[in-house]
């Protein structure tokens, strides 16, 4: 009998060591090393007999001998999912999808599998029984006029050896695994969800996807800090990393791309959770802007870009007199350090005394924005609440604010202006340093070009 091999793994980052360590040399965490069996020896070759395509032998080939073909993509009926994947599902791709419990990961991909027409889909679940999944599928298709995929197959199993036996019989065209943390390989003598099990199971599905050209979706868990559970190498192994964001107590969800070998990494899809599943939102600007009957101070509209999609979002601010010794600074959906920077610019360049004020900032709709082009809207929202004077409902902003108080140019300004015009805005304030703003007569919206924060304040107030 072969010797059993053991190793120590950091449960935080996946660092491997031959002996126990108090502090992880990789991530610096203390007391995170756990011993795991990584090789039982006698069972090592059994599972390989069931992995389709593992009998293929690879050989050295010249780069010039490889014929470059266009990537074959499997288009889904979900336009938002197609967008974040870069145009559809690429053959042989391995996609990791992570999100909080109850946010809708299983619902979205069960719905996606049921909507295919001529594609054989295998849905593998290690968390739910057949009856639970059947009940959810009935709910998703109850009020749908579309026909349900007759080639949709279900397998409730956690052993990868059994899974690959069934895959070899069925030969599916798409595999969905819910979730990778529940899988267990017979090669590793460790509990499901451990570092070594996650690495081995993901490696087996990666080998299967690349050898057979079958796309695989791995649904994953996240930790309490918000990062994807398991070793960091899991994100390096897969081709695409998607993450669900948004509060599960709200109806809207955001599917964001963090890594994509076949498309842009700055795309996002917006969904609305309904009683019949996830519904893609075609025009997210309408849901991100609150419909109000009266004008309120502290509200400004920003024109931002997420990937290739222009969005108009609402920035809300509240500036009040501080009743404690140290003024509070709270930001939701916006970088707190960026907010402090903009407050310092207003204090230094404009002479506004925000040092004795509590400042609260919120991006409406639960969306998180990293685009610096919303700086001008944040700044005008703060000034509106400071002066208690509402801004006009027909005006929006697009510009980055520098430390000296100048309004810097932003990219794709034409798309931002066109989106504001489409939604009925009458004015948009942008930087006068944008080089592409040569012919403003082609827009039916009034484009106001300014270069300093002081000019904007004088124009608005």
Pair 215, 357 in one domain:
no
CA-to-CA separations, 52 to 30, 44, 257, 366, in angstroms, rounded: 41, 17, 29, 43
Q: What is the rounded CA–CA span in Å between residue 167 and residue 175? A: 9
Q: Which of 161, 171, 242 is nearest to 200 (CA)?
A: 161
The Cα 82–Cα 242 span in angstroms is 12
pLDDT higher for 20 or 288? 20
256/177 same-domain check:
yes
Q: Are 313 and 367 in contact (CB under 8 A)?
A: yes
Pick the more confident residue, 56 or 230. 230
Residue 53 pLDDT exceeds 60: no
**Which of 122-126, 232-236, 244-248, 269-273 is the least confident region?**
244-248
Tokens of 9: 């793994």
What does the alpha-carbon distance between residue 359 and residue 319 come to, in Å, rounded to a whole number?
5
CA R_g for the chain = 26
Within this chain, do residues 101 and 227 fall inside the same structural domain, yes or no?
yes
CB 178 within 8 A of CB 106: yes
Averaged pLDDT for residues 193-200? 86
What is the structure's pLDDT at 167? 93
Answer whether residue 72 shows pLDDT above 60. Answer: yes
**Band (47; pLDDT cuts 50, 70, 90):** very low
3-state SS of 235-290 is HHHCCEEEEEECCCCCCEEEEEEEEECCCCCCCEEEEEEECCEEEECCCHHHHHCC
Higher pLDDT, 14 or 158: 158
Q: To which residue do tokens 């695994």 refer?
A: 177
Same domain, yes or no: 259 and 340: no
Assigned token pair, 158: 């956690």
- In this structure, of 47-61, 184-198, 320-334, the range with the lowest mean pLDDT score is 47-61
Tokens at residue 11, please? Answer: 């449960």
* Residues near 391 by beta carbon (within 8 Å), at least 6 away in sequence: 295, 297, 299, 300, 380, 381, 384, 460
Q: Under 8 Å CB-to-CB from 217, ≥6 apart: which residues? A: 95, 97, 109, 174, 175, 176, 177
β-partners of residue 240 are: 95, 260
* Domain CATH code at residue 307: 3.30.230.10
Q: Which parts are annotated binding residues for ATP? A: 99-106
| The pLDDT of residue 91 is above 70 | yes
Predicted confidence band at 42 (pLDDT cuts at 50, 70, 90)?
very low
Residue 113 forms part of a structural domain: yes
How many domains does the chain contain in total? 3
Q: Which CA distances in Å does 185 have to 39, 166, 209, 421? A: 11, 15, 17, 56
Q: Is residue 39 over pLDDT 90?
A: no
Write down the pLDDT at residue 381.
95
DSSP 72: P
Which residue(s) pair with 228 in the sheet? 222
* Inside any domain, residue 59: no
Q: What is the pLDDT of residue 10?
A: 84
Residues 359 and 212 in one domain: no
Q: 256, 282, 308 — which closes off a domain?
A: 282
* Contact status, residue 369 vs residue 307, Cβ threshold 8 Å: no
Query: Do 25 and 76 fall within a single domain?
Result: no
The pTM for the full model equals: 0.73
Examine residue 67 and state whether it is found in any structural domain, yes or no.
no
End-to-end CA distance of the chain, in Å? 83
Q: Is residue 64 included in any domain, yes or no?
A: no
- pLDDT-derived band at 125, boundaries 50, 70, 90: very high
Instruction: Establish if 63 belongs to a structural domain.
Output: no
Residue 17 has pLDDT above 60, yes or no: yes
Say if residue 163's pLDDT is above 90.
Answer: yes
Asked if the structure places residue 401 within a domain, the reply is yes
Q: Torsions phi, psi of 389, nearest 5?
A: -125, 120
The answer to whether 400 and 407 are in contact (CB under 8 A) is yes
Same domain, 336 and 273: no
- pLDDT tens for 269-304 read 888 888 888 888 877 776 677 666 677 889 999 999
**Do 222 and 330 reside in the same domain of the chain?**
no
The CB density around residue 251, as the number of other CB atoms within 10 Å, is: 14
Residues 231, 302, single domain; the answer is no
Q: Which two tokens stand for residue 305?
A: 């870009």
More confident residue, 296 or 153: 153
Residue 90, pLDDT above cutoff 70: yes
Q: Is the pLDDT of residue 56 over 70?
A: no
Residue 142 has pLDDT above 90, yes or no: no
User: What is the DSSP annotation of 416-454?
Assistant: HHHHHHHTT--EEEEETT-TT-S-GGG-SSEEEEE-BHH
* Average pLDDT score over residue span 102-130: 90
- Who contacts 158 (Cβ-Cβ below 8 Å, separation ≥6)? 126, 182, 183, 184, 192
* Residue 315 shares a structural domain with residue 202: no
Q: What is the mean pLDDT of residues 381-401?
A: 91
- Mean residue pLDDT across the chain: 85
Share of the chain above pLDDT 90, in %: 34
In a domain, 66, yes or no: no
The pLDDT, as a whole number, for residue 6 is 79
> 319-322: which pairs have CB atoms within 8 A and are 24 or more residues apart?
319/354, 319/357, 319/358, 319/359, 319/360, 319/382, 319/385, 319/386, 320/357, 320/358, 321/356, 321/357, 321/358, 322/356, 322/357, 322/358
Q: Supply the pLDDT for residue 45.
A: 39
CATH number of the domain that residue 254 is part of: 3.40.50.300
**357 lies in some domain:** yes
What is each CA distance from 302 to 121, 204, 307, 417, in whole angstroms?
42, 46, 16, 11
Statement: residue 55 has pLDDT above 70: no
Residues 207, 76, single domain; the answer is: yes
Q: Which domain holds residue 82?
A: 43-54+72-282
Q: Is 305:411 a contact under the CB 8 Å cutoff?
A: yes
Which residues are annotated binding-site positions? 99-106
SS3 342: helix
CA atoms of 38 and 34, how far apart (whole Å)? 12
Average pLDDT rounded to a whole number, residues 217-233: 84
**Does 173 share its domain with 110?**
yes
């Amino acid at each position: 009998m072969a010797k059993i091999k053991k190793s120590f793994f950091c449960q935080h980052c996946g660092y491997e060591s031959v002996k126990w360590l108090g502090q992880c040399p990789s991530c610096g965490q203390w007391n995170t090393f756990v011993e795991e069996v990584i090789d039982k020896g006698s069972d090592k070759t059994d599972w390989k007999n069931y992995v389709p395509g593992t009998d293929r032998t690879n050989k050295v080939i010249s780069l010039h001998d490889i014929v470059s073909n266009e990537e074959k993509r499997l288009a889904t009926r979900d336009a938002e999912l197609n967008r974040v994947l870069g145009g559809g599902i690429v053959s042989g791709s391995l996609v990791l999808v992570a999100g909080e419990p109850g946010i809708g990961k299983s619902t979205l991909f069960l719905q996606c599998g049921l909507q295919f027409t001529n594609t054989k889909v295998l849905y593998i679940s290690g968390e739910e029984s057949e009856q639970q999944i059947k009940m959810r599928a009935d709910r998703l298709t109850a009020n749908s006029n579309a026909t349900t995929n007759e080639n949709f197959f279900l397998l409730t199993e956690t052993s990868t050896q059994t899974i690959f036996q069934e895959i070899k019989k069925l030969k599916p065209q798409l595999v969905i695994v819910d979730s990778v943390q529940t899988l267990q390989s017979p090669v590793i003598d460790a509990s499901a969800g451990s570092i070594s099990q996650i690495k081995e199971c993901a490696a087996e599905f990666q080998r299967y996807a690349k050898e057979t050209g079958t796309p695989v979706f791995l649904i994953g868990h996240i930790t309490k800090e918000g990062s994807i559970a398991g070793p960091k190498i899991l994100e390096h192994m897969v081709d695409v990393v998607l993450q669900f964001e948004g509060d599960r107590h709200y109806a809207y969800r955001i599917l964001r791309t963090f890594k994509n070998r076949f498309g842009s990494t700055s795309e996002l899809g917006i969904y609305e959770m309904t009683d019949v599943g996830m519904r893609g939102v075609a025009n997210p600007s309408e849901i991100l802007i609150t419909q109000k009957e009266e004008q309120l101070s502290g509200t400004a509209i920003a024109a931002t870009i997420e990937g290739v999609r222009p969005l108009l979002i609402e920035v809300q601010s509240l500036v009040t007199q501080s009743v404690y010794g140290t003024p509070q600074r709270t930001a939701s959906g916006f970088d707190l350090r960026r907010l402090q920077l903009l407050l310092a610019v207003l204090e230094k360049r404009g002479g506004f005394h925000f040092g004795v004020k509590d400042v609260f900032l919120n991006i409406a709709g639960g969306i998180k924005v990293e685009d610096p082009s919303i700086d001008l809207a944040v700044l005008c929202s703060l000034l509106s609440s400071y002066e208690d004077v509402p801004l006009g409902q027909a005006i929006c902003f697009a510009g980055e604010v520098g430390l000296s108080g100048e309004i810097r140019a932003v990219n794709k300004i034409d798309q931002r202006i066109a989106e504001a015009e489409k939604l009925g805005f009458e004015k948009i304030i942008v930087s006068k340093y944008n080089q592409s703003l040569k012919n403003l007569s082609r827009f039916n919206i009034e484009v106001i070009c300014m270069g300093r924060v002081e000019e904007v304040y004088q124009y608005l107030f």
